[in-house]
Structure 1
């Protein structure tokens, strides 16, 4: 009886050992804080892999934080408070020209998808003389979009109208409805809502046709030096996330529903088509051409921008590794 009991106990212990071993060798997820800078589809290339668990699959426990406006988001990443984020590449150029070390490591979206939306009584751009136009932050994608549009207008900021920093899309929408603004640079999803509520579209800025870095994955060179493998894991997951977004419509639309706080399926599917299928690239390589657009715009007023090269603001090493490994090709085969 004693021998049988001993044998049973021994078998039980041997059965449990593999589970204990697996628990001991299971890699621990690395924590990483990450900021997104807008409530809009330009940020969805991070939202979707986050919600799908793809960052966790690649060893990262991401803490997503919202900081409204690319200019403010750039300041937070440059300070080191949060090491990575998604915001306009224009802010990366501004930071570097001022002595910072922000760098673009992947593309979110290289298209301007904003509209100038005004109160109902404003019928044309010229009527904004003496009025207030809202953006999220100076140095943000909304600010750059307004700057590019102004080049074609007879009225200019400072001289003819005031530009007001509002923080984000919800704040600009509220400012328009409450009368604190006469016009604002809104993204596509907020523009759809604005039209439904009786506000007026004055300018479709997407018709500018610019290859502009509206959203980019950004970190600092100093963070790459300290934590290169962390950035490597992020980029790997981000690239896989783009594949997931473009091939898994239902799951991705559900992510839009959560972050845009909207249950209208027709609206959500239209936003998915616009951003994920049309504007977000299949493979999110950093784009020198998009950075050149920023430098060309700034070069007229800033000799430092005129002398700079787009490659100074980009680090391609992680995509070079993925290409060499064949990771991207395997995803899409």
Structure 2
């Protein structure tokens, strides 16, 4: 306000000079206009510019729906962030990008976090967007059971990605050896899986809408649903470096605020949500949008707590693969304090009007 007083005093002095020069009327108008302009814009001086952050996601899928909606609706900016998102089709490539400091946030599956953590990386899962293996096993028309996949080529997005983990889990559960009895091919992303199914290059894939809809249009059918799979698993969540969380806790908190604000929009505003999804899923087809929206409603955690049980599943699977019991605990890879603090302050109650 001292600057305002100074400006006002200067203008009064100038007004006195104008009066003495016979330009009183003109000077008064100038004084009024300048003061109004100054006062109207003083609020801009106290506004803090949004903090720019970079985030990467690895799937064009309904499990990312709240993220897409939050971004398109300006909810990250509402919470003080200029969030820039980039799509990296190779999910395992997101982790190196995060570790290298190229991005601040990774939207990724938990198995990548565990694998990196066991190698000494300082990553932590701060929010669980989907805490179950929310996948469908889609297969070619002639496949009637998992055993019919024996000797067939199957598709995953990338070796080591969540699709790879869940497919191997299903094969093992059915008594099939993923290394000897099937051929697992990496396609790149969910859209590429859909193309491979259409071209009959693969006979089965672990997938989600919207890719699932395209597969079904090409003749594929669903062999297993998420309810059939019934596996607690860190399907997708928000990942940061521990050092970044320590040094930028408020930024991480605001990122989770922005993301979380998109969740009730999915549940409470169906048509607007579908409209906002069109750019990210690259489709305006009504059936694709409907399936993607419904999948999000069925899968998303309304309060994105990380689930330790899902990480336990990963560690148990890795122990079998390595032939040794791992000393690591799920708690090494998760940090739920940010979500817990938001719940304690009533943030989620306000979101859902409870």
TM-score, normalised by the number of residues in structure 2: 0.86
1:314 aligned counterpart, secondary structure: coil
Decide which of 70, 80, 91 is 1:49's aligned counterpart.
70
The aligned counterpart of 2:262 is 241
Distance in structure 1 (CA, Å) of the matches to 2:162 and 2:210: 15
Farther off after superposition, 220-229 or 133-142: 220-229
Distance in structure 2 (CA, Å) of the matches to 1:144 and 1:2: 82
CA 208–274 in structure 1, closer or farther in 2 if over 3 Å, else same? same
Deviation of the 1:31 alpha carbon: 1.1
CA 176–51 in structure 1, closer or farther in 2 if over 3 Å, else same? same
1:193 aligned counterpart, secondary structure: helix
Deviation of the 1:174 alpha carbon: 1.6
Return the index of the structure with the highest Cα Rg.
Answer: 2
Distance in structure 2 (CA, Å) of the matches to 1:304 and 1:101: 23
Distance in structure 1 (CA, Å) of the matches to 2:325 and 2:247: 28
On the 8 A contact 1:243/1:331 being kept in 2, the answer is: yes
Aligned residue pairs total 332
The aligned counterpart of 2:216 is 195
On the 8 A contact 2:154/2:203 being kept in 1, the answer is: yes
On the 8 A contact 1:97/1:304 being kept in 2, the answer is: no
On the 8 A contact 1:112/1:206 being kept in 2, the answer is: no
Deviations 1:44-98 (A, max 9, x none): 1211100010001111111111112432222322222112121111111111011
On the 8 A contact 1:114/1:206 being kept in 2, the answer is: no
Deviation of the 1:323 alpha carbon: 2.7
CA 114–327 in structure 1, closer or farther in 2 if over 3 Å, else same? closer
Decide which of 308, 317, 321 is 2:341's aligned counterpart.
321
Matched, 1:291 2:311: yes
Decide which of 75, 83, 92 is 1:62's aligned counterpart.
83
The aligned counterpart of 1:72 is 93
Distance in structure 1 (CA, Å) of the matches to 2:250 and 2:120: 25
2:132 aligned counterpart, secondary structure: coil
Farther off after superposition, 19-28 or 211-220: 19-28
Aligned structure 1 segments of 4 or more residues deviating by more than 6 angstroms? none
The aligned counterpart of 2:192 is 171
Deviation of the 1:268 alpha carbon: 2.0
The aligned counterpart of 2:6 is none
The aligned counterpart of 2:106 is 85
CA 123–207 in structure 1, closer or farther in 2 if over 3 Å, else same? closer
Distance in structure 2 (CA, Å) of the matches to 1:254 and 1:73: 28
Deviation of the 1:206 alpha carbon: 4.0
Decide which of 213, 218, 230 is 2:251's aligned counterpart.
230
Runs of 5+ unmatched residues, structure 1: none
Distance in structure 1 (CA, Å) of the matches to 2:257 and 2:116: 26
Distance in structure 1 (CA, Å) of the matches to 2:63 and 2:229: 17
Farther off after superposition, 162-171 or 305-314: 305-314
Deviations 1:167-195 (A, max 9, x none): 10111122222343233222243223212
On the 8 A contact 2:155/2:186 being kept in 1, the answer is: yes
Distance in structure 1 (CA, Å) of the matches to 2:305 and 2:223: 33
Distance in structure 2 (CA, Å) of the matches to 1:87 and 1:34: 11
Give the alignment's Cα RMSD to 1 decimal.
Answer: 2.1
Alignment of 1:118-137 (within 5 A): 118-137=139-158
On the 8 A contact 1:300/1:306 being kept in 2, the answer is: no
TM-score, normalised by the number of residues in structure 1: 0.92
